[in-house]
Structure formats: structure tokens, C-alpha cells
Structure 1
Amino acid sequence: MTSELQTIQSIRAASRLIVRELGFMNQNLAATDYHPSAVHSMLEVETHGAMTAAQLVQILGLEKSSVSRMLAKLVEAGELEETPSADDARTKLLSLTGKGRETVQNINIYADQRVAAALGKLDPFTQEAVSKSLSSYAIALKACRENSAEKVRNSFKIVSGYHAGMIGRITEMHGSYYAREYDFGNFFEAKVAAGLADFSARLDKPCNQIWLVMVNERIVGSVAIDGEDLGNNEAHLRWFILDDGCRGSGLGRKLIAEAMSFCDEQKFDSVQLWTFNKLIAARRLYESFGFELSKEWEGDQWGSTITEQQFTRKII
């Protein structure tokens, strides 16, 4: 099973579980006597203030006739009231009555308690990840319904220099990816961590630099230029990696561009990198920046016997 298919099936399974656990399979929702569409309607009216039935149709993504029938029942039940618009008397605005505001208050209390109880089962880091990921996924689903051509993108930024937690995070990305894809073990992960720790202590030198891709303040990519360890005025490109969800996004090219610009400014004679022959996509990216294969051999510097490669970029 491909990684993409596994992700799709995992999200579908989680979505079904969320729907069941939140009570959307029931005839009523959030400890009320109302269907989910009615509960959502009252919540949207509370959020937006007075609004029209047409606006609710757009927000809820339901048929106009279904929304009209549901709103009529809420007006009859005394939860909503209709008043003519000041701009156009033919347009009716819906707003909560006193009873409706009390109902919505109870809905919010119930829902907040459910969410708080579930979050209480998670550590703080996972709580934040759930919040941001759910928001992004919900926005993407809405964009699909509206046939939006634009891709929903998290805002990202590339920062340079030391960032708190980067040694552990970069090591985690390397360890997880290479264990899953190439069966690298603890030797490799320990080597990455040790190398990063040593390099981080030398970041005060002007010939050394690291760049990090940040999404929602989380590190999702990295690349470094070590201007010391090879000597002979040669730069060493190290720890180039992107988190699974960022591959194919163009962020890798932006990282390498930052690193190569730095190497040009520092006037290194060449840039060296070590990799192995199975990283085809990375090789294409390196070659697009002028790297050429300079050496190939069977080696085990990462803990497994593989076809290692050295690429060189001459700086003229």
C-alpha cells in the first residue's frame, strides 16, 4: 500500500470515528432536541449575527428547500425570529431570540466540555497539532466543495541559525524517514544527532549556517552548510530533509537555493555532499543546482551497506 493511500484511509477512518463520537449519527445533537443542521444553523447565526436564509444555505452547503423547512421549525419553536432588513424590506434577517441565545449557550457549554475532555487525553504538543491540522483539513474540504482552484497552503517561512529544538526535530525527521524507507537503524540516527550537536556548537562561525523551514512554528525541513569540517575552502552540504507532508511542494528547492547563495557569498571553491544511489528525486534537485557525481562506492558509513555517492559543485 502506498503512503498516499495509507494517509487517505487513515483520515477516512478517523473521520468516521469523529462523526460517531460527536453524535452525528443520532437524531439530535449536542444534548438538544434538534437535528445537526438546526444546531449548526443556530451556531452560525450566533457567530455572524443577523443573517439571511440564503447566507445559511451557502455556509451549510445544504439544499435551499431543506434549509427553509428547518428554519421555519426553529422560528416556530421560538429559537429564531425574522425581521425585515433595513436595506430591503423584502429580505428577512434571522436572529436568535432570548430562548435561542440560551439554547446556543447550552450547546457551547456541552461542546466545550466534550472537546476539553478529549484534549485532556492528549499531551500539549499533540493538542496543538490536532488544532492546526483539523483547521487546515476543514478549510481544504470547504475549498473542494466550492471548487476553488487555489491550493490551501499553510504559511511557511525559512529561517536561518539555531532554533530551539532543532537538533531533536531534524534527527527525528531523519530517523523516521530513513528507518521506514531504507531500514536504517539506531546507528544512523545516533550519527545524525551527534553530528548536529557538534555542528550547532560551531554555528557562531561565519562559514557555517543552517536553514529551517517552519510551518505553524514547527520545523518541517532543514539544510546546513558546514564550512569547516572538510577544510581546503570546501563547503559540506548536510542534513537536507523535508517532512513527509512537504515533499513536492518546492520547499526543498528554496532550501537548496538559500544554501547555494550562501556558498557563493562565502566564496568557497566547491560544495560537497554525500548521499546514496536510491535518492533519485534528491539527485535531480542537486544536479539542477550544478552538482555532479564525482565518486561512487559500496560503503557503510550510515550503518548499512549501500552504494554511496559523492556529489561536487564547483564554484567559479
Structure 2
Amino acid sequence: MELMQAVEKIRKFNRYYANLLGKIDQEIYHKPFPLTEARVITEIYVRNGCTATEVRETLGIDKGYMSRILQRFEEDHVIRKERRADDQRQYVLYLTEEGKEIYHRLADDANREVGKMIQPISKSDQAKLVTSMETIESILASEAPPEVMIRPFRPGDVGYVGHLHGKLYRTTYQFGQMFEYYVMKGLTEFMLDNAGGNLWIAEVNGQLVGSIAITRSTEQVAQLRWFVIDEQFQGLGIGKKLMDTAISFCVEQGYRHVFLWTVNILETARYLYRKYNFSITEEKLNAEWTKSTIMEERWDLELTNQEA
């Protein structure tokens, strides 16, 4: 079958199925829970401990609209929020007992309407229908996972690293211009002299999403710097790939020790540093980067037990 024929048939089926589901939805979803809100309730019930971002991206809901839905649900005691154990900046969502009752009512209504739709169909055709749906789901769900690639930096990448730091730390942690200056100053120095070091870029399907670097402190000591990942691409194992690349490079270069500086509010990164056996060796207060004072931390790792 030619590509355009396949596209037209798929679009024709989509129009038919969307109209069919629309008629069912009109019977099921009504005030106070229209279709989108019902889908949010269902997603939270099925995932049972998910972030708002996960639900929003799965359902393709506008960020502002999603925020209003969750605010209303919280006020009406439909959902409850809990801080994530591994990242205190994020909340996970659960249905309350009242929310679970609402979900079960919606599910019962949906089952009733779908049952009415397929009741006139013979059992053999029902089986064909279900099998066809399973086939569609299986084929479309088997698309290739995101391609994650770690590569050495190229011309133009260093500016991106500075941009990502400035954007992420400003929007997520309210860091000011002094922090961005600190990052850009270090990157400029790296561009002038990167002997004994390297900078790597993380890509997802060709899109730049993160970085990590090693710079030489002394002949035997390296510093890990500019470790950052776009928050939209967390959960793909990018942090581990970047850390493995940097540590392996240190071992290959004959460094016996590597250290890094971070701040105590970066829980996700600190969790990863612990997994790689880094330990805190120094702390100092910093009142320059944010409106409130934060704690800078030095983390160190001995490489004498690492194998090249």
C-alpha cells in the first residue's frame, strides 16, 4: 500500500472513531467532570503516584489548564499531593478516597455505555474487534525509544551549555545573574585552555538536552563541572550516561582524584553523586547567587580503585 493511501485510511478511521467515542463521551462525561478532567482522574488512579508533568504530557494538556484542574481537584479533596522522596522540589499525585469513588463511578458509566455499543454485535465479531484494537495498540506502542547520545562538544555547543544553566537555574531555583556570570566565566576559560579535560553534550533524537565536563585541576586531580540536564528529559538515564562518560575519561587520563562543587538544594544531582561514591568534604555559605543564602558543597571521589 502506498504511503499516502495508508495515511488517508488512518485519517478516515480516526474521524470515524473520534465521532463514535464522542457520542459515548456525551453520555458518560458531564458536569462536574467533563472529558478532560475525567481523563486526568483516570490517569492519576492508574499511575497511583505520578507528577503533574507526567499526566500533562501523557494527555497533551496545556500547562495552565492542567494547573487549574489540579487546583480545583485539591480544593474539592479529589486529589492529595506528597513530596517525592528523591526530589523534594516535586510533588506526586494520588486520589483521595473521595477521588477513588469518583473514578469508580466514571469507570462504571464508561463500561455501561461501551457495553451498550457492542451488545448488538455477535461474539465472534466482538472478538475480532478486540483483537484488532490490541493489534493497533501493539504496533503503535512499539515505536523506537528516544535515542540518547553522548558526544564531545562541537563549535556552538558551549553557548548552549551556558544558556541551559541560566534558564534552568533561573526558572527552577530563582538564581540571579551572578550565577550565570560564574558559569559563563568558567566556560570562557575552558574554551581558552581545555588541556586535560573535555566537555560532552547529551542529545535526545538529535536535540541538545544536557552536558557534563572534566577540567584539570592538577596533574592528578580533575574537577567535574557543568553537569546539567533539561528537566523535560529527566528519567531517560541521561545523568548516568554523562557521569559514566566523565568518570571513565578521568580514569583513562590517569587522574587519581576528582571533585565537584554543587549546592545543597540540588537533591537529584546529589543522589547521583552518592551513587558514584562521592562524599561531601567541604561546605561554605553562598549569598551571591540567590536572594537567600544557600550552602555550597564540595564532593570528592578517589579514583585509585577504578579500572580503566
- The normalised TM-score by structure 2 is 0.54
Residue correspondence of structure 1 range 58-207 to structure 2 within 5 A = 60=14, 62-63=16-17, 146=137, 153-160=145-152, 162-203=153-194, 205=195, 207=196
Tell me whether 1:309 sits opposite 2:266 in the alignment. Answer: no
1:290 aligned counterpart, secondary structure: coil
Q: Distance in 2 between matches of 1:225 and 1:292?
A: 18
* Aligned AA (1:257): D
Deviation at 1:177, TM superposition (A): 1.0
Q: 1:182 to 1:65 in 2, by over 3 A?
A: closer
Aligned-residue offset at 1:49: 7.0
| CA–CA separation in structure 1 for the residues paired with 2:286 and 2:143 | 42
2:197 alignment counterpart? 208
Q: Is 1:294–2:285 an aligned residue pair?
A: no
Name the CA distance, whole Å, in 2 between partners of 1:273 and 1:221. Answer: 17
Q: Which has the larger radius of gyration?
A: 1
Superimposed CA distance per residue, residues 37-73 of structure 1 (whole angstroms, 9 cap, x where no aligned partner):
xxxxxxx98703799xxx658953734998xxxxxxx
Query: In structure 2, do the counterparts of structure 1 residues 155 and 298 end up closer, same or farther at CA, with 3 Å as the change threshold?
Result: same
Aligned partner of 1:226 in structure 2 is 215
- Letter of the structure 1 residue corresponding to residue 212 of structure 2: V
User: CA offsets, 1:70-93, max 9 Å, x none?
Assistant: xxxxxxxxxxxxxxxxxxxxxxxx
Task: Compute the TM-score of the two structures, normalised by the length of structure 1.
Answer: 0.53
Partner residue in 1 for 2:253: 266
Give, in angstroms, the shift of residue 276 of structure 1.
0.9
Q: State the number of aligned residues.
A: 189
Cα RMSD between the aligned structures? Answer: 3.3
Unaligned runs of 5+ in 2: 21-59, 61-133
Q: Distance in 1 between matches of 2:185 and 2:245?
A: 24
Q: 1:199 to 1:301 in 2, by over 3 A?
A: farther
Amino acid at match of 2:147: S
Range with greater deviation from structure 2 (237-246 or 57-66): 57-66
Amino acid aligned to 2:276? F
* Distance (Å, rounded) in 1 between the aligned partners of 2:247 and 2:19: 60
Partners of 1:57 and 1:50 lie apart in 2 by: 6
Indicate the percent of aligned positions where both proteins have the same amino acid: 31
Q: Taking structure 1 as reference, are residues 266 and 65 closer, same or farther at Cα in structure 2, changes over 3 Å only?
A: closer
Q: Quick check: 1:272–1:311 contact (8 Å CA) kept in 2? A: yes
Deviation of 1:295 (Å) = 1.3
Q: d(CA) in 2 for partners of 1:301 and 1:50?
A: 56
Map of 2:230 onto structure 1: 243
Q: In the alignment, residue 16 of structure 2 is paired with which amino acid?
A: L
1:80-124 CA distance string (max 9 Å, x none) = xxxxxxxxxxxxxxxxxxxxxxxxxxxxxxxxxxxxxxxxxxxxx
Cα deviation for residue 272 of structure 1 reads: 0.5
